Amino acid sequence: MKKILLSVALALVLGACSEISSFMGSSSSGTDTGYRAKLHSCMLNDATTRFQAGTLFNDSITATAKDIAGGCIKKLALESMGISSQAQSDAENIITGLRNIGSAD
């Protein structure tokens, strides 16, 4: 029963996404379409991850949508400025340093 419910929910999500993607493709600017496609992909990935983890419906649809959209907008803005990859590298260096300090004891 759980698998059937999961399959139906996933089909609904994918159906809604195809509606959104056809709407998003109507933009006249190629650059705008590219950014919107990246945003759409990010939001779809985040929603799918949350769905698979069972956390997609923990809050209201509005609150969850706002959280997903905001997170993806921030992520894409950082990526477009080249900050995202540098921040990840810096974070890895910090974590590695802390791990080395912890293992030195």
pLDDT in tens, 33-42: 888 999 999 9
Model pTM score: 0.56
Q: For residues 78 and 16, which has the higher predicted lDDT (pLDDT)?
A: 78
For residue 104, what is the enclosing H or E element?
helix 83-104
pLDDT value of residue 103: 82
Indicate the domain borders of the chain.
2-104
Mean predicted confidence (pLDDT) in 5-29: 51
The phi and psi torsions of 82 (rounded to 5 degrees) equal: 80, 10
The whole-number pLDDT of residue 76 equals: 92
In this structure, are residues 24 and 36 in contact, taking their beta carbons and an 8 Å threshold?
yes
